[in-house]
Amino acid sequence: MLASLNHVDLRFGPQEVLKDVTWAIQEGECWGVIGRNGAGKSTVFKLLLGHLEADSGTVVKPTKERGIRMGHYAQDLIPETEGSVLEEALAAFGDVERLQHEMRELEHRMGEPDADLTEVMERYQKVTESFEHLDGFSIRARAESILQSLGFSAEDFDRPVETLSGGQKCRVMLAKAILQGLDLLLLDEPTNHLDLPSLRWLEGFIQDTDATVAVISHDRYFLDKIATEILELEQGRSRSYEGNYSEFMEKKEQELELLERHFEQQQAYIRNQEEYIRRNIAGQNTKQARGRRTHLSKLNRIQKPLRDRRKVKFSFPETQRGGDIALVLENASVGWDGQPLYAPLEQLQIKRGQKMGIVGLNGTGKSTLLKAIAEEIPFITGQARLGSQVRLGYFDQHHRNLDPRNTVFQQIHGVTPMAVRQDVLGFLAKFQFRGDEVDKPVTALSGGERARLSIATLIRNGVNLLLLDEPTNHMDIPSMEAMEDTILSFTGAAIVVTHDRYLLGRVADSLLRIHEGRAEFREGGYEDHQAWVDLDLGSEDEVGSQESEAPKKVEPTRKPVSPQAKPGPAAKPASPVDKDRQRAVKRFEKQVAEAEAKVAALEAALTELQKEMAVMDPSDWQAFSARLDSQKALEADLAYAMSDWEAAQGALEEAQR
C-alpha cells in the first residue's frame, strides 16, 4: 500500500470538511477522484502530502523515507527556479546531480595510485545503484520528451520560466510531476491547460505507466479512458467504486434504485407498525404497542433519495419561436489586424434546434468566430445573418455579460427591473445563490459562481439562439451534466465551443473543425468523427476512406507507431497482437467465471434469507430489522456482482472478436 486515509475527520473551524473518509491507494491502480467543487478533493491530497493534519483518524503518507518516488501537480504550484523551462523541469532532481558529481569524483579516484580500490569500488557501486534508482541515466532525455509531448518545442527549452504564460507554467509543473512520480502521481486537474494532442498523450502515458496514479478531474471522457477506480466525495464522505467514470455512473444509478426500494420497504414497515400501535395502544396488547413505538423512535430511518439533488437545474426558455433557419454564415472568416485565421467559409446554415460544436486547437479562431457572430468584432470577410424572429444570447468564457459594479441580486434584478424581490430570490436559488450569497459583489465570486451567474443572466433575458464559449469551464461534474441536459432540451439552436469531449459527444449533432487554415463542416457527432476532431490524421484521403464506412469509435493507442516507419511482412506485426489477445481472452474468461460464481452464491444466499423472513414472527421486530439489513446488503452486493459480470462478459466478447 502506497498511501491511505483511515476514518479521517477534518474541520475548518465550525465547518466539517471530511467525515470518516477512508481511502487506500495500492500499487498499479489509477484513481479518478470526483465530487462537487468544495467537496474536499484537493483537501484529501493535501492530507496525503502532509500540508494538512487530520483532526482524527490515521493518514499514511507516501514519503521519501518509505522509499516512494512521488510527483504532485496542482494549478497553484509555483516554479522553484528562475531558470529555463528544462532547468525547472529538472529542478527536483538535485539528488541526481549530486550523485552524478560523486560518480565522476569516484571514477577519477580509481585512477589515483594511492586509492583504496576496494573502498572506492564499494562506494561507486552504491552511488551507481542510487543513481539508477532515480532514473539518472535517462532523466534529461525523458524531461525533453515529456515537455515536447506537452506542447513545448526544442527552442522553448531555453526560454526563461518567468516569460511563460500561466497555462505554459502549469504544463512545465505537470512535466516535473510526471518526471518525479515514478511510484505515485497525485494530479489535481491536470487537463485544464492541455490541447487535444497533449491530452491524448497524457491519457496514453497514464495507461502505460508503471506508476500508481490518482487524478482529480472534471473531464469525464479523460476519466473513462484512464481510471480503474473512482473515489467519490459527497457531503464530506467518501465512497469507492471499481471501474471508470461510466461504470461508476451505472453503479451509482443501481445504488439509487436499491435505496429507493429500501426506502419504500421501510416506509411500508413503518406504516404497518404505526397502524398496529394506533389499534392496540389502549387495548389488550398495549405492552406490545408501546414496545413497537419505542422501536420506531429508535429506528435509523432511510432518507428519501433525491435523484436530482446533485444537479444544478438550468433552463433556457425561448421568448418566441424563431424561424426554421436560425443563422446563416456567408463567405465568413475572422481574424485580427485584417488577417484571416482561416479561409472563408462559403455558406453554412444553422437550423432551429441544431446543436453544432466548434473544435480545433487553441488560437485557431473558435472563440473569435463566436465574437463576430455576436457582433463584438467585425468579420474579416463575409457576414452572419440571423433568421426571422431569432434572439441571440452569448455566453463567453470571461463572463463579460456581468457588470462588476453589481451584486448577485442587482445583476439579475437589472435584467427584469419590474420583478418583485421574492421572484428574483427564487430565480437565484435555482442557481444555488441563497441567503447572504445574493448580496456578494460580482468581483468577489469564484470562477464557477461567475459562470452560474452569467448563465442565469442569459436565461433571465430569454433567447432562441445560444452561443456558448467553453460553458463548462470551472464547473463540477453535476453542473456539467445539468448544462448538457439543458442544451439537449433547449428547442432553439446552439453553437458550442468546447474542449470537453464528453459534452461534445452528448450534445453536438454537427461539427465545425477549424484546422490548418480551413473551416470544415460535417454532419454527425463526436463519436462519428473522433479522429477528425482530435486532429490525429494521417492524410485527408485516409480519413475520407475510413469515414465512408460505418463510423467507428477510435480508441487512443498505447504505443503509437511512427507514420514514417515502413511496414514489414504481414506475419511479424500480427504475432504480438495475437499473443495479447490470447492473454486477454484467458484473463477475461477467468473474470467471467469468478463473477458468475459470485452472482450464484449471492442469489442463493438472498433466496435463503427471503425464505427465512417469510416464516418469521412479525412481532419480533428486532430480528426482522436485522434480517432486513442483511437483505439490503445482499441486494447491493448482488447488483454490483451483476454489473461486474456484465462488464467482464462484454470485455470477453470484445477480446474474442
**Per-residue model confidence as pLDDT tens digits over 237-255:** 999 999 999 999 888 888 8
Mean pLDDT along residues 481-501: 86
**Does any domain span residue 305?**
no
pLDDT at 575: 37
Mean pLDDT of 555-582: 40
Residues 221 and 277 reside in one and the same domain: no
496 plus 601 within the same structural domain: no
Distance CA 130, CA 187 (A): 26
pLDDT at 385 over 90: yes
Residues 75 and 175 in one domain: yes
Of 168-182, 381-395, 463-477, which range is least confident?
A: 463-477
pLDDT in tens, 496-509: 998 888 999 999 99
Residues 229 and 256 in one domain: no
Residue 48 lies in a domain: yes
Q: Render pLDDT for 595-605 as a digit per residue (tens, 0 to 9).
A: 777 877 887 78
132 and 184 housed in the same domain? yes
pLDDT at 538 over 80: no
CB atoms within 10 A of CB 539: 9
Residue ranges making up the domain that contains 503: 325-547
* Residue 446 pLDDT grade (very low, low, confident, very high; cuts 50, 70, 90): confident
The residue-averaged pLDDT of 276-290 equals 86
Check whether 96 has a pLDDT greater than 90. Answer: no
What CA–CA distances, in Å, run from 486 to 315, 492, 503, 525? 6, 11, 11, 18
Residues 332 and 320: their CA atoms lie apart, in Å, by 28
Residue 568 has pLDDT above 60, yes or no: no
Q: What H or E segment, with its residue span, contains residue 332?
A: strand 325-333
Q: Which CATH number characterizes residue 441's domain?
A: 3.40.50.300
- CA distances to 37, 252, 455 from 41, rounded to whole Å, are 8, 19, 26
79, 168: one domain: yes
Q: Do 7 and 110 reside in the same domain of the chain?
A: yes
In this predicted structure, what is the pLDDT of residue 254?
A: 87
> What is the percent of the chain where pLDDT is above 90?
36
Residue ending a domain, choose from 281, 298, 315: 298
The answer to the question of residue 571 being in a domain is no
Q: Does a structural domain hold residue 392?
A: yes
On whether residue 524 sits in a domain, the answer given is yes
Q: Which of 298, 333, 361 is the last residue of a domain?
A: 298
pLDDT, one tens digit per residue, over 182-223 is 899 999 999 887 877 888 899 999 999 999 999 999 999 999
Q: Indicate if 21 and 164 belong to the same structural domain.
A: yes
Q: How confident is the model at residue 455 (pLDDT cuts 50, 70, 90)?
A: confident
How do residues 1-52 score in pLDDT, each as one tens digit? 899 999 999 998 888 899 999 999 999 999 999 988 778 999 999 999 999 9
Give how many domains the chain has, as a whole number.
4
Specify the pLDDT at position 425. Answer: 93
Provide, rounded to the nearest whole percent, the portion of the chain with pLDDT above 70. 86
Of the ranges 92-101, 139-148, 328-337, 428-437, which one carries the lowest mean pLDDT score?
A: 92-101
In a domain, 572, yes or no: no
Does residue 121 sit in the same domain as residue 207? yes
Least confident range from 283-292, 442-451, 644-653: namely: 644-653
Residues 379, 416, single domain; the answer is yes
With bands split at pLDDT 50, 70 and 90, how would you rate the model's confidence at 625?
Answer: low
Contact 390, 327 (CB under 8 A): yes
Say whether both 436 and 287 belong to one domain.
Answer: no
- How large is the average pLDDT for residues 421-445? 89
Q: How confident is the model at residue 313 (pLDDT cuts 50, 70, 90)?
A: low
Same domain, 64 and 92: yes
d(CA 367, CA 359): 10
Q: What is the pLDDT of the chain when averaged over all its residues? A: 82
Q: How much is the average pLDDT of 524-539?
A: 72
CA atoms within 13 A on the CB side of 431: 28
Residue 185 lies in a domain: yes
Quick check: is 134 in a domain?
A: yes
